[in-house]
Amino acid sequence: MDNYQIRILHLSATKDWGGGENHLLNLVTHEIPDTEDEHYILCPKNSIAHARFKDKELRVYSALMLHKLSLNYILNIISLCKKHNINLIHIHDTTALTLAVLASKFSDLPRFIFSKKTSYLIKIRKGTLHKYNHPHISKILCVSNKTKENCKISIQDHSKLEKIYHGTNIEKLAVRDDYNIRKELGFTENEIIIGNIANHWRSKDLATFLETANHVVNISGRKDFHFVQIGQFTKYTPALLELRKKLNLEKNVHFLNEIENASGIIPQFRISLITSQSEGLPQFIYESSFHKVPVVSTNVGGIPEFIENGENGMLTNPYESQSLADKLIALSRDKELCEKFTERSYHKLIENFTSRNMAEQTLAAYKKVLYGKN
Task: Write down the pLDDT at residue 369.
Answer: 93
pLDDT, tens digit, 9 for 90 and up, residues 338-357:
999 999 999 999 999 998 89
Task: Write down the pLDDT at residue 58.
Answer: 80
Task: Write down the pLDDT at residue 35.
Answer: 65
Closest C-alpha to 109, from 140, 130, 88: 88
Task: Write down the pLDDT at residue 34.
Answer: 57
State mean pLDDT over 226-238.
Answer: 96
CATH topology of domain 175-352: Rossmann fold (3.40.50)
Q: Are domains 7-167+354-371 and 175-352 of this chain identical in fold?
A: yes
pLDDT of 335 above 90 = yes
With helix as H, strand as E and coil as C, how does the chain read? CCCCCCEEEEECCCCCCCHHHHHHHHHHHCCCCCCCCEEEEEEECCCHHHHHHHHCCCCEEEECCCCCCCHHHHHHHHHHHHHCCCCEEEECCHHHHHHHHHHCCCCCCCCEEEEECCCCCCCCCHHHHHHHCCCCEEEEEECCHHHHHHHCCCCCCHHHEEECCCCECHHHCCCCCCCCHHHHHCCCCCCEEEEEECCCCHHHCHHHHHHHHHHHHHHCCCCCEEEEEECCCCCCHHHHHHHHHHCCCCCCEEECCCCCCHHHHHHHCCEEEECCCCCCCCHHHHHHHHCCCCEEEECCCCHHHCCCECCCEEEECCCCHHHHHHHHHHHHCCHHHHHHHHHHHHHHHHHHCEHHHHHHHHHHHHHHHHHCCC
% pLDDT > 90, the chain: 75
Domain borders along the chain are 7-167+354-371, 175-352
State how far the alpha carbon of 220 is from the alpha carbons of 217, 273, 328, in Å: 6, 18, 12
pLDDT, tens digit, 9 for 90 and up, residues 47-92:
887 887 877 678 899 999 888 899 999 999 999 999 999 999 999 9
pLDDT, tens digit, 9 for 90 and up, residues 167-208:
888 888 889 999 999 999 999 999 999 999 999 999 999 999
Residue 296 forms beta bridges with which residues?
273, 314
What is the residue-averaged pLDDT of the chain? 92
pLDDT, tens digit, 9 for 90 and up, residues 254-294:
999 989 889 999 999 999 999 999 998 999 999 999 999 99
State mean pLDDT over 206-227.
Answer: 98
Task: Write down the pLDDT at residue 36.
Answer: 72
State mean pLDDT over 321-330.
Answer: 98
CATH topology of domain 7-167+354-371: Rossmann fold (3.40.50)
Task: Write down the pLDDT at residue 1.
Answer: 35
Report CA torsion sign: 160, 129, 135, 44.
Answer: negative
